[in-house]
Structure 1
Amino acid sequence: MPFIRLENEKLISESNSILINYVKNFGALVEKNNNQDHFEISQNSTELELTNFIAENSGNWNIAVNRKSDNIYSNEHWLYTESDFTDYKKLNFGIEECLISFSLQEVYFEYCGNNVKANSELNLKPLWIDKRYCSNERTHSFYYDSEYKALKFNHSDNNFERIAFIK
């Protein structure tokens, strides 16, 4: 979904320069895959003037940005509370942290091999540790080996055993 082909570019405010640059330089390259969360700009009908920009792979929740500020919101909490799907909660961290966590997660899932597990030859070093993504919880940690271009993803609820070897 190249930026120039968005139906309504006004969905992203010019004040959201970080998101605009992401869309132009990386977000449009993240292939939409039903097994992964995906980058998808869409109108949000709430009165908070929100634009959805990340959709969970099953459509269970979205991450949105306020068109007048860089504040981000998520409705992910409706899955485990008595709130409604349309109830968006402000996230207490910046759009940069969200986009980096999202990007690393998507790169990991794009390149992880089905049966490739960590081995003793890898020298995985901390890359992005205890960061946030779709909630205020610090769930995402990534480790990287530059020699083998190996990426390991640890989630606070799920330690993935596979290794992504980035081409």
Structure 2
Amino acid sequence: MIKNLNELHNLLFNEWKLPFIGLENDNLISKTNSILFNYVKDFGALIEKNNNQDHFEISQNSSELELTNFITENSGNWNIAVDKKMDNLYSNEHWLYTESDFSDFKKLNFGIEECLISFSLQELYFEHCENKTKPNSELNLKPLWINKRYSSNEKTHSFYYDLENKALKFSHSENNFDRIAFIR
């Protein structure tokens, strides 16, 4: 199991040999947001932006809070942001199912590192789950990142992997995905 961003970086770039993709607007991140700042330098955009997946995109937040958006839902329905002075996380995802406004950001009660790892694994899964690769042998899926949070305070994300086949399985508390992603 991975425990932090350093271990995730090792898995993605040293073991799985993923390419580094540069990120635009990284100058909008405050150096006081050291975890996010280092994530941008170590992970870049991780995968290229497309309209089928959430994406890592740095932008100024339009709310009254001192926030910087860094994750945008694939349809632009919500954002995850970080306070410019501390690493406190905020999200406006709740506006989809409450009577709040899109610009109403609520504080998330977990750390930015947990959010970034869940996001990275989720997006890699969706980027690679469409390929038709079949494993050469039976998969030996082991826990990688279990019962973690992403865009809300609910623990929704679990991932399992098979290192030999570079296989990744995503289990969400509300939706178990049947496909296996083969990272190639």
- Report the TM-score when normalising by structure 2: 0.83
**Take 2:149 and 2:183, find their aligned partners in 1: how far apart are those partners?**
23
Which residue is 2:138 aligned to? Answer: 121
% same residue: 79
- AA paired with 1:56? E
Larger RCO of the pair (alpha carbons < 8 Å, separation 6+): 2
Structure 2: 5+ residue stretches without partners = 1-20
How many Å separate the matches in 1 of 2:30 and 2:79?
Answer: 18
Q: In structure 2, how many angstroms separate the alpha carbons of the residues matched to 1:39 and 1:66?
A: 16
Cα root mean square deviation, aligned: 2.1
Q: Which residue of 1 aligns with 2:22?
A: 2
CA–CA distance in 1 between the matches of 2:70 and 2:142? Answer: 30
Tell me the alpha carbon deviations over residues 33-59 of structure 1, each in whole angstroms, 9 at most, x when there is no partner.
100000010111222100100000001
Runs of 5+ unmatched residues, structure 1: none
Q: Confirm or deny that 1:77 pairs with 2:94.
A: yes
2:74 match: 57
Deviations 1:45-101 (A, max 9, x none): 222100100000001000000000000100000111111110000000000000000
Answer yes or no: is 1:148 the counterpart of 2:168.
Answer: no
Structure 1 or 2: more strand by fraction: 1
Partners of 1:53 and 1:65 within 8 A in 2: yes
Give the 3-state SS of the residue equivalent to 2:121 in structure 1.
Answer: helix
Match of 2:124 among 87, 103, 107: 107
